[in-house]
Structure 1
Amino acid sequence: MNVPTYSLAERDRRWALAREIMEAEGVQALVAYGEHECADLAPFAPDVYFTNDRPGAIVIFCRDADPIELTWSTLPVADHIQAARRGEELWIPPERIRVAKHAAGVVEVLREHRLESGAVGVLGLDPYPPFHINPIMPHGLWSQVLAELPEVEFKPVGLSYLFATICQSEEELAVVRHSAATGDAMAEAMLEAARPGVSEAEVYAAGMAAAFRRGLAAPDMLLSSGPGFVSWGPPAWSYRPQAPRVIEDGDVIMAEVFCRFGMKETQHQVAIAVGRVHPDIEIGAKVARASYEAGLAAARPGNTFGDLVEAMRAPLEEAGAWNVHPLVHTLNPMGPVCGFGAGLRRLPDSARYGRLFEVPTMGGELPLAPGMTFAFEPNAVIGDRLANLGGTVVIGEDEPIELNPFTAQLLRSQS
């Protein structure tokens, strides 16, 4: 298997982007806060973008100097030492790594570069959909930094980071393609495992094992099964003490499969019919497929993300369907996302709940450009039954590039 990697030229390109962000924002330094390691889905990891190293650091660029990496403990340092002994090409030299992921460490670096006043850009003070609608920066850490450096103007620069990094380089696209191919392998393994009498856990395990055998991180999976449902999330047995559901004839299995390689994520919507499924699921799958095709037609430079969302919504509106989760959102990094959830009010059960509101579309003004990656996940509820399909799509120079046509259809178990 030919496994793509990142070169020092890719490092230099990314570091140049950091300095372009600093210049555009009028700041003398850039502080990139990284979420802790072992985060499952959609981690906030601009630190890894600049270090190509273990997640969970703070990376600081000061003026023209090379970045300094602040780690949370000695464990990343031990990994760095071992990687050097193996002859791996590392982006950050030992002299620029400190065990100091705390307020004092940040303040120390800025003071060393005489930045007790002026402007400093920060990654970690902006919302980061889908899970960090509230900024991820810890209050305790940041309040101490502000107290120690009262004359510094700290500016959130998340939007500049999004625009600077969302169009993937050729090296990054090779990594994305590798991840997407593994997502297909996961879907194929799940399709082979899906049959009456096996549990959801066995289908889940088949998919995850396919990724691990290829050396990719599959951080988690959303999965539901049954003759029909409107739920969307991780299987209940992954967070509640109960037995996994056993698949029956006439069930549909719906899953959202996540692959991550080189911190680039691809997403894959797996829909498997086990035997003859309810007609509403068949209809919903056709509506979702029409939404997918409408999205491909709109996924071209010259359109905006809002144009893409409206195109994918049209088939649902025509069919009187609604979407449980987003029809489409950006990947690498996350950001603009299609609105979802309004149709939940149609369910009689919803009247018993408190405040309900639709998550609105965010980032509709984003212009589409070559190299952007998107999760196409069109889903349609007909009656009380969800149908969901799709995969990862790249914006090309003239037309979109489908990386996962295999999962852009209702799959059928042959067992």
Structure 2
Amino acid sequence: MLSVPTYSAAERDRRWEVARELMASEGLDALVAYGERECADLAPFAPDTYFTNDRPGSIVVFCRDADPVQLVWSTLPIQDHIEAMKRGDQLWIPPHDIRVGRNAAGVVEVLREHRLENATIGVLGLDPFPPFHILPIMPYALWSEVLAELPGATFKQVGMSYLFATIRQSEEELAVIRYSADAGEAMARAMLEATAPGVDEAEIFTAGMSAAFRRGCAAPQMLLWSGPGFISWGSPAWAYRPQSPRVVAEGDVVMAEAFCRFGMKETQTQVAIAVGDLHPDLEEAAVIARAAYEAGLAAAVVGNTFGDLAGAMLGVLKEAGAWNVHPMVHTLNPYGPVCGFGQGLRRVPEALEYGRLFELPTMGGELPLAPGMTFAFEPNAVVDGKAVNLGCTVVIGQDGPIELNPFTAQLLRA
């Protein structure tokens, strides 16, 4: 039997108070929290689950001082809720505040019940949610119907306020995050053990995912590539294109980014495994990435900003003449500020054959670092077309950074 952390009623009350404080500070009469559909993959936009501690994919509506109403997409979440009550699970929303109606009609119905047709209403879902949702995630058809039904209401984007209000984790949340990070490290160790010449990528992928599943982390995902040197980053090609997984050989580096999620809190584990002797450029890239990691730790202190943190890590690359294929660091729980990347792609001769190249700049650099914030440290360096990525999840502590799974903050050797 696994021993896992859970949330208390006190955590529920704290989060509902976060919603009410956000409403007060923004001058709102109501708050509508749109959650991304269930079974979403990376980076779920899930403020609904933040307030419900339940199945994702709903809309949660706070009206003045009333308890929140949860709007679900079908009877299936209600069936789950019934069974969870029978098991004695920790549920936050009572049955009378859950209804089928994850649509415009459902939102309008709740607001009208509270006579908020002409009120000021905050909305989570109208702001961009980087890095995966550069545009707002709210469906156009749903929201245009709400606007048409409530022409007298004033709707206000409050995504940034929500981020600032929730990005510092409570002690209960940090316990859940530590559990997730431990599972992420178990994934890395299992992958290291599975890696050898002649083993294909799917076997390594399976070893890592199995380690997470065995710990009750039911929604892990992984980016994975292998080869003697590459600048690719993303899911393995066989995950989306019908082809065989690549077979690992001597001189390869196997690199992965494991997204481990437990209780809707995410940690990330950056894996780089050397298979035998590597090309000198890969060894140099690993040294540079580690130096960037250490520079990030030095900057991850209260009093600095996210811009200071990202700048310190990017500065190591600039001094070494290297570049990064993906962010060096970004926030977790929730996603938000993200370090810039892709500036060096123009050095790659093949890239000149493509159309417009867009380099993502650092976003959210003004965020002040504060205790309880969680970050994915993922320093990566490209040297002559060969990249190495390493890192782990880091928490901002009162007295300095806290590395949750530092096993992968180095080049591992099979």
Judge conservation of contact 2:212–2:220 (CA < 8 Å) in 1: no
Equivalent-residue separation in structure 2 for 1:279 and 1:99 (angstroms): 59
1:390 aligns with 2:355: no
Aligned twin of 1:342: 343
Aligned twin of 2:308: 307
Per the TM alignment, residue 219 of structure 1 is displaced from its structure 2 partner at its CA by 3.0
Aligned twin of 1:21: 22
1:258-316 deviation line (CA, Å, top 9, x unaligned): 10001000001000000001111110000000000000000000000000011111111
Aligned twin of 2:222: 221
1:322 aligns with 2:318: no
Task: State the one-letter code of the partner of 2:291.
Answer: A
Equivalent-residue separation in structure 2 for 1:137 and 1:400 (angstroms): 35
Aligned twin of 1:128: 129
After TM superposition, the structure 1 = structure 2 runs for residues 290-301 of structure 1, keeping only pairs within 5 Å, are 290-301=291-302
Judge conservation of contact 2:222–2:256 (CA < 8 Å) in 1: yes
1:61 aligns with 2:52: no
After TM superposition, the structure 1 = structure 2 runs for residues 175-254 of structure 1, keeping only pairs within 5 Å, are 175-254=176-255
1:225-273 deviation line (CA, Å, top 9, x unaligned): 0000000000000000000000001100000001000100000100000
Aligned twin of 2:407: 406
1:362 aligns with 2:363: yes
TM (norm. structure 2) is: 0.99
Aligned residues: 413
Secondary structure at the aligned position of 2:65 is classed as coil
1:314-349 deviation line (CA, Å, top 9, x unaligned): 111111000000000000000000000010110000
1:266 aligns with 2:234: no
Task: State the one-letter code of the partner of 2:34.
Answer: Y
Deviation >6 Å, runs of 4+ = none
Equivalent-residue separation in structure 2 for 1:291 and 1:335 (angstroms): 21
Secondary structure at the aligned position of 2:112 is classed as helix
Judge conservation of contact 1:208–1:218 (CA < 8 Å) in 2: no
Equivalent-residue separation in structure 1 for 2:363 and 2:333 (angstroms): 16
1:176-214 deviation line (CA, Å, top 9, x unaligned): 000000000000000000000010000000000000011
Secondary structure at the aligned position of 1:39 is classed as coil
Secondary structure at the aligned position of 1:175 is classed as helix
After TM superposition, the structure 1 = structure 2 runs for residues 141-180 of structure 1, keeping only pairs within 5 Å, are 141-180=142-181
Secondary structure at the aligned position of 1:357 is classed as coil
Secondary structure at the aligned position of 1:342 is classed as coil
Equivalent-residue separation in structure 1 for 2:90 and 2:193 (angstroms): 39
Secondary structure at the aligned position of 1:400 is classed as strand
Secondary structure at the aligned position of 2:292 is classed as helix
Per the TM alignment, residue 139 of structure 1 is displaced from its structure 2 partner at its CA by 0.4
Task: State the one-letter code of the partner of 1:47.
Answer: D
Secondary structure at the aligned position of 2:397 is classed as coil
Per the TM alignment, residue 162 of structure 1 is displaced from its structure 2 partner at its CA by 0.3
Secondary structure at the aligned position of 1:266 is classed as strand
Task: State the one-letter code of the partner of 2:145.
Answer: Q
Task: State the one-letter code of the partner of 2:177.
Answer: V
Aligned twin of 2:35: 34
Aligned twin of 2:52: 51
Equivalent-residue separation in structure 2 for 1:103 and 1:255 (angstroms): 40
Secondary structure at the aligned position of 1:337 is classed as coil
Task: State the one-letter code of the partner of 1:328.
Answer: V
Task: State the one-letter code of the partner of 1:27.
Answer: L
Aligned twin of 2:283: 282
Judge conservation of contact 2:285–2:387 (CA < 8 Å) in 1: yes
Equivalent-residue separation in structure 2 for 1:174 and 1:89 (angstroms): 17
Judge conservation of contact 1:14–1:50 (CA < 8 Å) in 2: yes
Note the residue ranges of structure 2 that are not aligned, 5 or more in a row.
none
Judge conservation of contact 1:121–1:154 (CA < 8 Å) in 2: yes
Two-structure CA RMSD over aligned residues (Å): 0.6
Change (3 A) 1:31 1:89: same
Per the TM alignment, residue 131 of structure 1 is displaced from its structure 2 partner at its CA by 1.1
TM (norm. structure 1) is: 0.99
Aligned twin of 1:75: 76
